[in-house]
């Protein structure tokens, strides 16, 4: 249905049929936050909310884009791609095109339509999904023969260099390689990964997203500052013979604490302890031990709140409500923080009661009315020809 509807919109706007249809999912990171760019471990999963991109070739070098969600267009030349201050959604597409041109890949102008059902600015990686959807579509349209890993690298690089957000590789990687009812245990240093079964149905459990509706833009938030602080911590460890955070455990860290600035110690403590929690979460999933997984989610939030300091009162509300609610096994912020979303592991037959409880608490605190919805764990990106 979505393909038919968007094809109709494409024909209405551009006067011709699209040649390629692509989709790429957002993600929920079950655990492993701010460890991706620190070359540690993460445990994301692709979700059933996606960004769609329909595209056709033009005979010239012009690019015409239409964002169906915003009812807004943008056009420019491939030979003169510059960042837009007003139409920020367009920068993610521009970044991909700019980088492919820079890579020397032969492109032509395009007509492209974008639509997404991922809540924007909610910490569910709509930006990476857009980048991946676009690069997969262009790969199909122009027969670029890019490998899956190359697509992920280029999408990340476009966001780093053109958009200006120094994101890690996790979001693009899971958007491409995700699989239904599987979480991805990814080593962000080696890029080795293992798909771990999520047997949630055994205990009638589900993951639920709590969108705090506190908007944040990573490029102008404390995200880049956290990266700088993490780099300072890594420099400290390298001077003492360690090559990365994965070589340091909490016991070692405590022995070095007196030599470190307190803020750098706290940032390092989160990264090191979060790596440990990811490994423990993987083992818990392999044993279908969701009680342990839930405890690890709570611990992760505490670390993100107290040591990495990326939470906010609205996200703390999810954690606190989850702690008080017997049917909630675990809850934490997911994504970069500073607003956005959280994830909770809850018994499915109690979701309505949980939703009512957290909405009541949000009203009492004077917060924006949060959105809560169940997610399904789905497949990664797809692109195919329509002609």
Rounded distance between C-alpha atoms, residue 372 and residue 232, angstroms: 37
In angstroms, the Cα distances linking 315 to 81, 281, 331, 362 are 37, 21, 10, 10
* 58: three-class secondary structure by DSSP: coil
Q: Read off the tokens for 244.
A: 């990365």
Local structure of residue 75 (DSSP, 8 states): E
Neighbours of 264 (CB within 10 A): 19
Question: Which tokens belong to 182?
Answer: 């599987």
Radius of gyration over every alpha carbon of the chain, rounded to an integer in angstroms: 21
Residue of 36, 139, 171, 307 marked active site: 171
* Cβ atoms of 368 and 212 closer than 8 Å: yes
Question: Cα–Cα distances in Å, from 4 out to 1, 9, 11, 128, 380?
Answer: 5, 9, 11, 24, 21
The first and second tokens of residue 2, run together, are 């979505």
Cα separation, 60 vs 74, in Å, equals: 16
What angle separates helix 313-324 from helix 351-365, to the nearest 10 degrees?
A: 140
Q: How many CB atoms lie within 10 A of CB 353?
A: 13
To the query of whether residue 349 is one of the catalytic residues in this protein, the response is no
Q: Where are the beta strands (DSSP E) in 88-162?
A: 110-116
Say how far apart CA 344 and CA 320 lie, in whole Å. Answer: 11
Query: C-alpha distances in angstroms, 221 versus 83, 334, 338, 339?
Result: 19, 16, 7, 10
Report in angstroms the alpha-carbon separations of 281 from 107, 255, 309: 44, 26, 22
Supply 108's token pair.
């032509």
What are the catalytic residues?
Answer: 171
């Amino acid at each position: 249905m979505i393909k038919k509807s968007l094809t109709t919109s494409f024909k209405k706007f551009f006067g011709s049929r699209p040649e390629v249809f692509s989709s790429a999912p957002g993600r929920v990171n079950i655990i492993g936050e701010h460890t991706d760019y620190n070359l540690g471990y993460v445990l994301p999963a692709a979700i059933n909310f996606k960004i769609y991109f329909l595209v056709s070739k033009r005979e010239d070098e012009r690019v015409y884009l239409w964002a169906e969600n915003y009812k807004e267009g943008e056009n420019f030349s491939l030979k003169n791609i510059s960042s837009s201050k007003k139409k920020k959604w367009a920068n993610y597409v521009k970044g991909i095109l700019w980088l492919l041109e820079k890579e020397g890949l032969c492109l032509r102008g395009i007509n492209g339509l974008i639509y997404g059902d991922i809540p924007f600015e909610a910490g569910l990686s709509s930006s990476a999904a857009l980048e991946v959807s676009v690069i997969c579509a262009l790969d199909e349209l122009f027969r670029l023969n890019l490998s899956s890993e190359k697509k992920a690298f280029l999408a990340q690089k476009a966001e780093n260099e053109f958009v200006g957000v120094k994101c890690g590789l996790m979001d693009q990687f899971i958007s491409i390689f995700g699989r239904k009812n599987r979480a991805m245990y990814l080593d962000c240093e080696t890029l080795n990964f293992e798909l771990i079964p999520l047997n949630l149905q055994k205990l009638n459990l589900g993951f639920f997203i709590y969108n705090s509706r506190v908007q944040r833009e990573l490029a102008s938030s404390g995200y880049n500052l956290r990266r700088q602080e993490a780099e300072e911590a890594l420099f400290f460890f390298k001077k003492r013979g360690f090559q990365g955070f994965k070589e340091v455990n909490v016991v070692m860290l405590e022995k070095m604490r007196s030599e470190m600035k307190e803020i750098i110690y706290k940032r390092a403590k989160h990264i090191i302890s979060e790596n440990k929690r990811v490994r423990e979460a993987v083992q818990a999933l392999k044993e279908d031990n969701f009680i342990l997984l839930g405890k690890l989610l709570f611990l992760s939030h505490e670390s993100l709140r107290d040591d990495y300091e990326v939470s906010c009162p609205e996200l703390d509300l999810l954690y606190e409500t989850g702690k008080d609610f017997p049917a909630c096994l675990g809850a934490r912020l997911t994504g970069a923080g500073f607003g956005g979303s959280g994830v909770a592991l809850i018994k499915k037959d109690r979701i309505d009661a949980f939703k009512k409880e957290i909405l009541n608490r949000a009203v009492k605190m004077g917060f924006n009315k949060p959105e809560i919805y169940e997610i399904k764990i789905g497949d990664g990106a797809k692109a195919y020809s329509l002609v």
